[in-house]
Chains A and B, each alone.
Chain A
Amino acid sequence: MEYKMTLPITAEKAKTLEAGDYVYLTGELYVARDAAHKRLYELIAEGKELPIDLTDATIYYMGPSPAREGRPIGSAGPTTASRMDKYAPTLLDLGQKAMIGKGKRTKEVLDAIVRNDGVYFAAVGGAGALLSKCIVKSEIVCYEDLGAEAIRRITVEDFPVIVVADCKGNNLYAIAAEKYKK
């Protein structure tokens, strides 16, 4: 299935998504990767308030290259999601609904997706120039000292992603390779 979807992704919307679906996302989402996740996780452990609202949030695992003058962002493809596996279940339990990245996830993350009616999308790795064209606005929310790893809020238009893990427990990576194995 190929269709368009508006952000935020709520539990209701997530329930309609199935592994293998090709979706064009439009709306606002957060960008965060390794160092920012570590900071969020530490704040949660200390019981402190977070700098972003996780309710129905979509987080894109990405660290862009610098923007040229007149452009919202530089090259902006997904980074490997498994490095966020340590933190993702906690964030999903606190309200985050969707993740965009690339690569395999642990069972803990896949379970948290099912438990919270969430979704894990893959964007095409290595297509950072193409994907940057779907980003129309970008602003740093916090952690500017982290450079490329700062948390950003971006606005996307028809940003192409593929559902890898849905809330029914399907995992496209596991099925797809089997299908084409010789």
Chain B
Amino acid sequence: MIREIDTKEIAEAIKDMCIAVNYKLSPDMEEKLSTAKETEVAPLGKKIIGQLLENLEIAETEQIPICQDTGMAVVFLEVGQDVHFTGEPIEDAVNAGVRAGYEEGYLRKSVVGDPILRVNTKDNTPAVIHYSIVPGSNVKITVGPKGFGSENMSRVFMLKPADGIEGVKNAILTAVSDAGPNACPPMVIGVGVGGTFEKAAIMAKEALVKHPEEDRPQWTKDLEEEMLERINGLGIGPGGLGGSTTALAVNVRSFATHIAGLPVAVNICCHVNRHMERTI
């Protein structure tokens, strides 16, 4: 059965989500930050985590965005193959939602229309949109506005198959060490292993903003655990000013790859790992 969905509905949802994620962090992130306040060993680090928690409270109660960098809007659309969109083109609807959200939500317009000419579009569009077609008749929307302090510190490594899991670990540690204080630690690390150059990067982004995949190899879970411990042993700490809390989470996704390659993408995010899902 074909289900008709007016793209206006998509625009409306995206508007609401852009605003909501910029004022209130998802419960999983807030919980991790609260735990870190207890476990952090450095006095200054503890103080900074305390300020980040206070910042979250002020953001919600006084309606001031959690961070002034309210991000470039990244939107994942998982479209059921039985969906028929009506109304304005879907891409226009997504951008209309972003435009309305950033205007009505007092969010910063951080997008330039051309990477070299660099004139601000003044409405935070266009969004970066990733579409996929899935079974069913629903549309799942994931919105994850991405700040660039941490985006700038993200990396793609094209490793050799012989580098193996140790190569993957070194790649992650290199990216995080190089990022240091620039990425507003404590960070969240999204990792994509396998696929092609661009698939690895998209998986790394998905690892940040989507729920963990239920069915995935055990090594990805082991890697997350080991990496979190080793990253926190780097000493970078909250604000990069020293301490035992450098990352709050490491999330790993993987995919099949070519006999000749081992792509690894490390997408770094600060504690303001804004993400929200809604199904229509």
Q: Report A's interface with B, CB cutoff 8 A.
A: 22, 35, 62-68, 71, 74-77, 79-80, 82, 102-104, 122, 124-130, 132-133, 146-149, 160, 162, 164, 172-173, 175-182
Contacts and interface: CB of A to CB of B under 8 A. Distances in A.
25 contacts: A35-B118, A64-B108, A66-B108, A71-B64, A74-B108, A75-B65, A75-B66, A75-B68, A75-B108, A80-B152, A102-B181, A104-B181, A122-B181, A124-B55, A126-B272, A127-B52, A129-B62, A129-B66, A130-B51, A160-B51, A172-B241, A177-B237, A179-B235, A180-B45, A182-B235
Contacts of A62: 68
Nearest to A69: B106
By Cβ-Cβ distance, the 7 closest A-B pairs, closest first, are A176-B242, A125-B184, A103-B182, A181-B235, A182-B233, A180-B235, A129-B64
Nearest to B47: A22
Interface in B241-277: 241-244, 270-272
Contacts, number: 165
Contacts of A74: 64-65, 68, 106, 108
Contacts of A104: 180-182
A13 B70 CA distance: 35
A128 B122 contact: no
Interface of B is mostly: loop
Contacts of A162: 44, 239, 241
B65 A122 contact: no
Contacts of A102: 149, 181-182, 184, 239-240
Contacts of B234: 177, 181-182
A164 B41 CA distance: 20
B107 interface: yes
Contacts of A77: 67-69
B182 A82 contact: yes
Given A76-B68, A102-B240, A124-B52, 12 more contacts: A68-B64, A75-B66, A75-B70, A75-B108, A82-B182, A103-B181, A103-B183, A122-B181, A130-B51, A146-B120, A176-B240, A180-B45
A80 B182 contact: yes
Nearest to B108: A65
A77 B180 CA distance: 18
Question: Which of B109, B242, B270: most chain A Cβ within 10 A?
Answer: B242
Nearest to A103: B182
A122 B51 CA distance: 14
A125 B41 contact: no
A151 to B, nearest CB: 15
Contact of B180 (A126, A132, A173, A178): A173
